[in-house]
Structure 1
């Protein structure tokens, strides 16, 4: 078995992402910590943490990478009808703690969003780096949500949940169009799924992904304030 680089908590570094294993796809390194500095360094280099409670911190950079180009989300006719009915209201950064905990609890296959991860991303949120997106129904109840990390003109989606039919799709449409308006270059979806592909996501090589990141993470977006409500134009 190929040995993986071990990262000491007091050493702020990562091996190059292209040294990740093919099997399991993208596993790059073990160890380190979840400090804001390390997490930002990871995302800037196309790396993210993914591990369970009984494992050390594992760092990943899969190849290929699933992304969604802002503004290129696919809107089916049925979804457009839902959007035009304005059954949902979309907000950002209204209840980050609630969103990340619901992302953790609404996964039938178990979760990698451990208490350690919740604490780490909550700190990133306090620093204005991690954000939540909320979907509210007409009764004012939470219908879905997502959280992720924004660096420069790149948004890294971490996890999403849906408590009501079409809530996650409505969220993806709004987020995609808002990121486009802000001049974002990509939304990282990490690993492909049938749901993401049906919404217009695609896969690109790790090298292409890293090339986009190199230019995008230091570029200034057109807006920095995520604390507002989005509306879908009729």
Structure 2
């Protein structure tokens, strides 16, 4: 069954054109707002919002387009032996605890955290409209209870999943969330054309199969992905042992 999100009012700003950015330029615009329509316009244009500190020390809203861009193809995820063993002991869900996942990702004690200010409410607004989603990783405990030990969240626009942040409270729990996201998107139609945008390809993410592509290639891939229907669907019931 195809899931359709609700379109918010259109963006009232003229966002920068990523295709016109210089080769070494990553921050290509400052300003606008975090209204749902603005954020969706940014993702559809190859941009993502993130705060930036100005020379005078003030914080502002930046629009970013890294070159190269880190992406992951759902069917290209790498699962090590140790990670495969860990997956057997987790339970997974989608959109069962969106606010908890965002709050964990926004924990100010985390190094390099950026989800602060208006960002949590902005993602909540997108979630309410059906655009932002979370993948939860649970540890089963006694008497039918479970504990949230990891997860990720992001924004899905057609065949693009813009992964914003992830967290873990147990070893491999955030990696498990990525693997579960890929498993679910791999089962969706035309999965080879789907892309998971991770912004920057870090060594940690490269172990999961993330690759870095030039900006112009990313924008070309994005055009094809946006033509697809969404592939991630919220759960009615959680799933256990999804990869064995």
Report if aligned partners of 1:42, 1:48 keep a CA contact under 8 Å in 2.
yes
Which residue of the partner structure matches residue 171 of structure 1?
Answer: 177
Aligned CA-pair RMSD: 1.9
Structure 1 residue 159 corresponds to structure 2 residue 165: yes
Report if aligned partners of 1:48, 1:59 keep a CA contact under 8 Å in 2.
yes
Which residue of the partner structure matches residue 7 of structure 1?
Answer: none
State how 1:89-104 maps to structure 2 within 5 Å. 89-104=91-106
Report if aligned partners of 2:166, 2:174 keep a CA contact under 8 Å in 1.
yes
Which residue of the partner structure matches residue 44 of structure 2?
Answer: 44
Report if aligned partners of 1:144, 1:161 keep a CA contact under 8 Å in 2.
yes
Structure 1 residue 64 corresponds to structure 2 residue 64: no
Structure 1 residue 135 corresponds to structure 2 residue 141: no
Which residue of the partner structure matches residue 5 of structure 1?
Answer: none
Report if aligned partners of 2:152, 2:178 keep a CA contact under 8 Å in 1.
no
Structure 1 residue 181 corresponds to structure 2 residue 190: no
The TM-score, its normalising length taken from structure 1, stands at 0.88
The TM-score, its normalising length taken from structure 2, stands at 0.84
Following superposition, the deviation at residue 218 of structure 1 comes to 2.7
* Matches of 2:124 and 2:139, distance apart in 1: 25
Q: What is the DSSP-based 3-state SS (H/G/I as helix, E as strand, rest coil) of the residue aligned with 1:112?
A: coil
Structure 1 residue 216 corresponds to structure 2 residue 225: yes
Following superposition, the deviation at residue 18 of structure 1 comes to 2.6
Report if aligned partners of 1:29, 1:58 keep a CA contact under 8 Å in 2.
yes
Count of residue correspondences: 221
Which residue of the partner structure matches residue 78 of structure 1?
Answer: 82
Structure 1 pair 12–230 and aligned structure 2 pair: CA distance change class (3 A):
farther
Report if aligned partners of 2:84, 2:243 keep a CA contact under 8 Å in 1.
no
* Matches of 1:107 and 1:71, distance apart in 2: 33
Q: What is the DSSP-based 3-state SS (H/G/I as helix, E as strand, rest coil) of the residue aligned with 2:59?
A: coil
